[in-house]
Amino acid sequence: MYQGPNATTEFITREILGDHEWLRNSFIPESHKRLRYFRDKVIDWISEVEKATGKEIPYIRPRAGFFIFINFSNFLHSETFEAEAKLQQAFFDNKVLFVRGESLHMSKPGWFRIVFSSYDEETLNKGLKRISRALECQ
């Protein structure tokens, strides 16, 4: 069922999107800067985990957007989507929720989509620590 936003939300959105100068000179450049920064923090974290565990963690470096595909197949007990589901449960048990590869029709298990467009750096760091904790148990 489709339902449009309420009138207040429509009004606020129209006002924000109607300020082309602010969008072009402030919002979009700041948004790009923050997304690049958070993306780079996640990529640095991947390198740290690789060094700490001795396991390679392939990923698809994003050039746009707010998520990264990371391959945790080296942390699976077996190369199956059932093992991927168990790893997802380990992440969930550590209070991290993201989409696993099978749900995205990936051909091989172990891929996860991680959104990095966090509200702030502290929240992102907390999430990455929780992912690390889940991986340590594998």
User: Domains of the chain: which residue ranges?
Assistant: 34-136
Tell me which residue of 121, 104, 122 sits closest to 113, measured CA to CA. Answer: 104
| Model confidence pLDDT, tens digit, residues 82-121 | 999 999 999 999 999 989 999 999 999 999 999 999 889 9
Statement: 34-136 belongs to CATH 2.30.110.10? no
Q: How confident is the model at residue 138 (pLDDT cuts 50, 70, 90)?
A: confident
- Identify the sign of the CA torsion 130, 44, 137, 71: positive
| Model confidence pLDDT, tens digit, residues 8-22 | 999 998 998 899 999
**Position 1 pLDDT exceeds 80:** no
Strands 67-71 and 99-100, sheet pairing = unpaired
Percent of the chain with pLDDT over 70: 99
Residue of higher predicted confidence among 64 and 75: 75
